[in-house]
Each structure stands twice: as structure tokens, then as C-alpha cells.
């Protein structure tokens, strides 16, 4: 008899919890989800879905479904800085990699484009597929406490429908319970940083703004308007939820003055000012506030309990990194739990989760907060403080043909350049490098040198710890298929070339159910463009060991021609990565 109600209990059905459940269910693991509310996200929240997160959706087979609910990439990025949507346009920035100078980098870097999917549309797609693949769930169920022992975790929850408490016994517990995580607190995770260092008011409203934005499509517009200038961003925000008739208006407010004034007449007037249309018909759907956090846990797990997502990294939406990082936390953890539960890896490998994901969390918390601070220099160019009307005076200065005007325009150019670190930061999004017990460094490789700015540009690499570079191969039907498509899907992949016969034989001899061999150049994974040949950084008779999450665990750069040699290398590498004797 099985003493466990489930193998993995996931608390939280947000991007972290739903992705963890989807991946685990896909890998055939018994997983149960609980959430304290009656349904999933009921407000738009996260939208920007970056390439690494879309790659996760692709690996889990839901990319196409997610795309149906997304604002497509090409409509995402002509970000405006204006005095109102109808008023003076002060600057434009090509964002989210849509600019002519950057789009090629993004296309080269991934088989997936960026998507803009409000969380209230994305969560149901992930959650529904998790449940369709066997995950079980209960809503209205609140996590209360847990106790862990040598074999599992006993979790006490409260059923709010029938007002009773009961326990669930699981082998592992995932705390995906968001920024106020009780589970992170219960396992004593040390959260470093500051919570609530600023605050923003949001209004979700319906109004057709097509005539103001259709010709310069973007999901984000910054408005220099009186009444929306409080705080470090110093501008109001119009954020498209559905192009171009559902929007969020946002502005900073002073927490010391208490809650913002959400009187309908007041917000209608504010939104009309941001749009620049005094007669605009507005249907207000909801109001909310959120606080700017700058905090990250120094470690993500304890024993059999693992926290991910906002439970361990808390930061503002600038740079759009929150749900993206959450999805990737979950994807990193899920295959590891699956491998331990299936007996392919030792529990010790699970330590790699925190070692790999915590540095990413720390980095994105810093980045998202810096992206807010970086609005300072723009504000300095747009405003002349001390003038009766600082915005009008600022605009006049910006158009001044005198040397002072030239100086301000030069300063604005530099200030806008800084925004690339928020809006065109492909490196921040894709350049993760993992170091942990589940990654074996390549002793021949030396220290990685960054050819270009690490935050702005992807540096694809086959170094252990990097994500397998994407490039297009050709399948047996003559169709293009990504290197990421022929790997992953819950399995390790041994990637070699046509000359890698010794590796193929070694893998064959090992005969492991979780290891596939990918011979690039062979039928089905042909390299007619010679793309892989250019970027693989290893000999054609060398090999890469790629993990189920697409990250490279180990590589053998020089050629190996001898079957026994290859067998020994591969066996040793797998044992080290999986922490098996
Ligand atoms: P999340 O908070 O989404 O989910 C927590 C889950 O835990 C919920 O299901 C909740 O019911 C459950 N729960 C909590 N306590 C519980 C308990 N005791 N018992 C049972 N269940 C419990 N990110 C991004 O990538 N791009 C973007 O553009 C933006 N934009 C953005 C805008 C705004 C306004 C906000 C507030 C946030 C963003 N984000 C973002 C951030 C993003 O929304 C956030 O990072 C993710 O929702 C985090 O996902 P999680 O699943 O970790 O937590």
C-alpha cells in the first residue's frame, strides 16, 4: 500500500505552481495542487513572456495554445514617452527586441519569439494542461503548516468550503505560494532585502484607444502628466491588456499618505488626462495597488521542501522578469524531483536547484529595481524643476535650438540607451550560467569571456551550465526543427556528430530509459545549413550531455574514437550529475 497521498504536493497555482505541476504530470509523477482561492489569477499581472519561458512552454507542448491568448511579438514594442497619448510625443524606444538592430539577435537566439500574455490568460492554459495530464487539485484549500521527516512531508491544510482541517502526506512539498510565502517562512528561508519600498496604483479599464496607438503599436506607454509624477519612475503608465481596447493605467503614490484615491470621477479624469481626450468613454473594471519589493531568499530549499517563484524573489514588474523566472524555477526543479522519484538520481542532486536558481533570482531582483531607478535621467531631461509648469518648460528646453538644447537632447539619448537594459536585455533573459553539483565544468574551457555586454546580448555557448544553443536543423520531412526540439521532453540527451559513433555505442551499452542519443548530421537531425557545425564549440566526435531542462550538464570537447573510452566518460559523467554511486 502507498502511504503517500501524492508524490509532490504543490502549494500555489500561479505560474510557479502550475508549471511545476504541468512538468511533473508530463513526466508521469503523481502531483497534487492546492490553492487558497477559488480560481486562478483574476487580474492581468505578468504579461511579458520572454524567450526562455516560451521555450519551457514549447518543451511542455503548450506554446501554440499560449500563443492564441497572446498579443503577438510584433505588436509589443514601439514604446512611447509622451505628454499624453493624443499629445506631444517626446521619445520612442523600440522594445522587447523588435527594433531593426536587435530583432535578428532574438531570432537567432531561440526558436521562440516573445509573447505578451496577461497572467489571467496564461495561468489557465498551464493549469488546464497539468490537470489534463493527471495532476489533481483542490481550490479553497489553504496551506497551514507542515512537518517533514526522513521519508516525506505531512502538510496540514484548511478546506474553506467545508471548514475543516486535514493532512496530506507527500514525498516532497513545493512552496509556490507567492510573495507572502508562509512555506518560505516555515522552513526558515532568510529573505534578504526590503519589502514595500514604493507603491503603485493600478486601474483596469476598457476603452478603445486604437486611434492613438494602432499606427505605432506597443503594449507600454509612459506619460509625463501632472498628477502622475510621484516616485522614481515619475510618469504615468498606459499598459495594453488586449490590443487596443483593454488597458491598465498606473501611477506611483506616496504610501505615507495612505491608500490612493480610487473615486471613479477622480480616476476617470486621471485616465482622460493620460490619454489626452477629455471626453473619452471609460468603463472601469477594477482598481488595485501593489508594492515595490527588492528581496530575495539566500537559499531556496530545506530538506524535502522547495520554494520557487515570488516566494523566493520579490521585485517590481519592470523588465518583466517575475513570472518568467518563476516558470523557469519550476522547470528546473520538476525534472530533478521526477528523476529522484523515479530512482534515476539521488536526493543529493536536489541541492543543485537552489545553487542554480538563487543567483538568477538575486540578479533579476537587482535588475528589476535598477530598471526603475534608470527612469531618473529621463525625467531630468523631460522636466525643468522649479518652473511653474515643469513639463512644459522641460519640453521647451528639449526643443530649444541653442547649445543648451543640444546638451539636453544628448543627455536624453544617453538616458534612453539605459532603457535597453530594461527593454532589450536579451542577455539578462537568456544568459543564465549554472554552477552546481549537477553541472560538471569543462576543465579545458577556462574562464568564460563575454564578447559583448552580458546583459544586452545573448552569448550562446555549449559550456556546461549554459542552455543548449538553439539552431535550426532539418528533420526527415525536410522541415526545420530546433536543437531544443530534439532534446529535452523529460530526458537527458547525448548530443554528438556523425563521427561520434563511440558515443552512440556507449549510450547503447548503458541502455538507460532516460537517455536519448542525438546525432547531428544524421537523418532526422541533419545540419544542412552547417549551423551546428559553426556553434557547437566541440569536435564532431566530442559530446554534450544535455539535461531535460535543456541545460548542458557536461561536455567532452575533444574527439573520442574508442567505444570503451566513451563508455567510461559517459558513465562517470552521468553518475556525477545524478549523484549516483
Ligand atoms: P503567485 O503570487 O502568482 O501565486 C501564488 C499562489 O499561491 C496563488 O495560487 C495563491 O492562491 C497561492 N497561495 C498563497 N498562499 C497560500 C496558502 N497559504 N495556501 C494555499 N495557497 C496559497 N512578471 C513577469 O514575468 N512579467 C511581467 O510583465 C510582470 N508584470 C507584473 C505586473 C504586476 C502589477 C505584478 C503585481 C506582477 C507582475 N509580474 C510580472 C510578476 C508576476 O506576477 C509574479 O512574479 C508571478 O505571479 C509569481 O508567480 P508565483 O506562482 O510564484 O506566485
Return the best residue to mutate from 45, 117, 118, 120 for the ligand 1 pocket (most ligand atoms within 8 A of CB).
Answer: 45
Atom of ligand 1 nearest to the CA of 37: 11
Q: What is the pLDDT of residue 228?
A: 87
Q: What is the pLDDT of residue 158?
A: 98
- CA of 309 from ligand 1 middle (Å) equals 8
Nearest CA to ligand 1 atom 10: 12
Q: Are residues 580 and 342 in contact, defined by beta-carbon separation less than 8 angstroms? A: no
Q: What is the pLDDT of residue 2?
A: 62
Nearest CA to ligand 1 atom 31: 46
Per-residue three-class SS string for 117-150: CCHHHHHHHHHHHHHHCCCEEECCEEEEEEEECC
Q: What is the pLDDT of residue 521?
A: 98
Nearest CA to ligand 1 atom 39: 46
- CA of 14 from ligand 1 middle (Å) equals 6
The residues near 558 (Cβ < 8 Å, ≥ 6 apart) are 444, 538, 539, 542
The pTM of the full predicted model, rounded to 2 decimals, is 0.97
**What Å distances lie between residue 464 and 17, 97, 493, 536, CA to CA?**
28, 27, 14, 12
Q: How many residues are listed for the chain in this entry?
A: 581
The full set of domains in the chain, from first to last, is 6-65+117-191+298-370 (3.50.50.60), 375-418 (no CATH), 461-578 (3.40.30.120)
Residues 356, 352: Cα–Cα separation, whole Å: 6
- CA of 312 from ligand 1 middle (Å) equals 11
Return the best residue to mutate from 35, 77, 202, 287 for the ligand 1 pocket (most ligand atoms within 8 A of CB).
Answer: 35
Atom of ligand 1 nearest to the CA of 119: 43
DSSP 306-322: EE-GGGTEE--STTS-H
Q: Mean pLDDT for each 10-residue chunk of the chain (581 residues)?
A: 88 98 98 98 94 98 98 94 95 96 98 97 98 98 98 98 98 98 98 95 97 96 90 94 97 94 96 97 96 97 98 96 97 99 98 98 97 95 91 94 97 97 98 98 94 98 98 98 98 98 98 98 97 98 98 98 98 98 80
Look up the ipTM and state it.
Answer: 0.95
Amino acid at each position: 500500500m502507498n502511504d503517500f497521498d501524492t508524490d509532490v504536493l504543490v502549494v500555489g497555482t500561479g505560474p510557479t505552481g502550475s508549471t511545476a505541476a504541468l512538468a511533473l504530470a508530463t513526466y508521469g509523477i503523481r502531483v497534487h495542487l492546492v490553492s487558497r482561492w477559488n480560481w486562478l489569477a483574476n487580474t492581468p499581472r505578468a504579461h511579458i513572456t520572454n524567450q526562455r519561458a516560451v521555450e519551457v512552454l514549447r518543451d511542455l507542448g503548450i506554446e501554440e495554445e499560449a500563443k492564441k491568448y497572446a498579443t503577438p511579438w510584433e505588436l509589443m514594442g514601439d514604446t512611447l514617452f509622451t505628454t499624453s497619448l493624443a499629445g506631444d510625443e517626446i521619445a520612442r524606444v523600440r522594445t522587447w527586441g523588435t527594433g531593426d538592430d536587435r530583432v535578428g539577435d532574438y531570432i537567432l537566439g531561440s526558436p521562440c519569439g516573445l509573447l505578451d500574455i496577461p497572467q489571467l490568460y496564461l495561468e489557465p492554459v498551464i493549469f488546464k494542461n497539468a490537470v489534463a495530464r493527471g495532476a489533481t487539485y483542490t481550490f479553497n484549500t489553504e496551506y497551514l503548516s507542515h512537518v517533514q521527516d526522513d521519508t516525506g512531508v505531512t502538510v496540514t491544510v484548511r478546506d474553506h468550503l467545508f471548514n475543516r482541517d486535514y493532512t496530506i502526506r507527500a514525498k516532497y512539498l513545493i512552496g509556490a505560494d507567492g510573495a507572502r510565502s508562509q512555506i518560505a517562512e516555515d522552513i526558515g528561508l532568510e529573505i534578504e532585502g526590503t519589502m514595500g519600498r514604493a507603491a503603485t496604483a493600478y486601474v483596469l479599464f476598457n476603452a478603445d484607444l486604437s486611434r492613438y496607438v494602432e499606427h505605432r503599436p506597443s503594449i507600454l506607454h509612459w506619460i509625463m502628466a501632472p498628477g502622475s509624477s510621484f516616485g522614481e519612475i515619475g510618469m504615468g503608465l498606459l499598459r495594453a491588456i488586449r490590443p487596443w481596447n483593454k488597458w491598465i493605467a498606473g501611477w506611483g503614490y506616496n504610501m505615507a499618505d495612505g491608500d490612493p484615491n480610487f473615486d471613479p470621477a477622480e480616476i476617470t479624469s486621471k485616465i482622460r488626462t493620460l490619454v489626452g481626450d477629455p471626453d473619452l468613454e471609460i468603463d472601469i473594471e477594477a482598481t488595485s495597488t501593489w508594492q515595490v519589493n527588492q528581496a530575495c531568499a539566500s537559499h531556496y530549499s530545506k530538506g524535502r521542501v522547495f520554494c520557487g517563484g515570488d516566494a523566493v524573489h520579490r521585485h517590481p514588474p519592470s523588465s518583466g522578469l517575475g513570472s518568467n523566472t518563476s516558470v523557469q524555477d519550476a522547470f528546473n526543479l520538476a525534472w530533478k524531483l521526477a528523476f529522484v522519484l523515479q530512482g534515476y538520481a539521488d536526493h543529493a542532486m536536489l541541492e543543485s536547484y537552489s545553487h542554480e536558481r538563487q543567483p538568477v533570482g538575486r540578479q533579476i531582483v537587482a535588475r528589476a529595481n535598477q530598471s526603475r531607478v534608470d527612469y531618473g535621467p529621463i525625467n531630468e531631461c523631460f522636466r525643468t524643476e522649479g518652473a511653474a509648469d515643469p513639463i512644459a518648460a522641460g519640453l521647451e528646453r528639449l526643443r530649444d535650438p541653442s547649445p543648451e538644447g543640444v546638451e539636453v537632447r544628448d543627455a536624453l539619448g544617453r538616458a534612453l540607451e539605459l532603457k535597453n537594459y530594461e527593454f532589450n536585455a536579451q542577455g539578462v533573459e537568456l544568459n543564465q550560467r549554472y554552477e552546481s553539483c549537477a553541472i560538471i565544468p569543462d576543465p579545458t574551457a577556462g574562464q568564460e569571456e563575454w564578447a559583448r555586454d552580458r546583459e544586452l546580448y545573448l552569448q550562446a555557448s555549449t559550456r556546461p551550465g549554459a542552455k543548449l544553443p538553439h539552431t535550426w536543423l532539418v528533420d526527415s520531412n525536410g522541415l526545420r526543427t530546433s536543437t531544443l526540439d530534439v532534446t529535452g521532453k523529460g530526458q537527458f540527451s547525448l548530443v554528438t556528430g556523425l563521427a561520434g559513433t563511440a558515443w552512440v555505442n556507449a549510450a547503447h551499452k548503458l541502455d538507460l530509459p532516460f537517455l536519448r542519443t542525438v546525432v547531428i548530421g544524421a537523418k532526422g537531425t541533419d545540419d544542412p545549413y552547417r549551423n551546428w557545425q559553426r556553434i557547437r564549440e566541440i569536435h564532431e566526435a566530442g559530446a554534450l550531455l544535455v539535461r531535460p531542462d535543456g541545460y548542458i550538464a557536461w561536455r567532452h570537447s575533444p574527439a573520442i574514437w574508442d567505444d570503451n573510452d566513451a563508455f567510461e566518460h559517459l558513465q562517470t559523467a552521468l553518475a556525477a550529475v545524478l549523484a549516483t554511486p
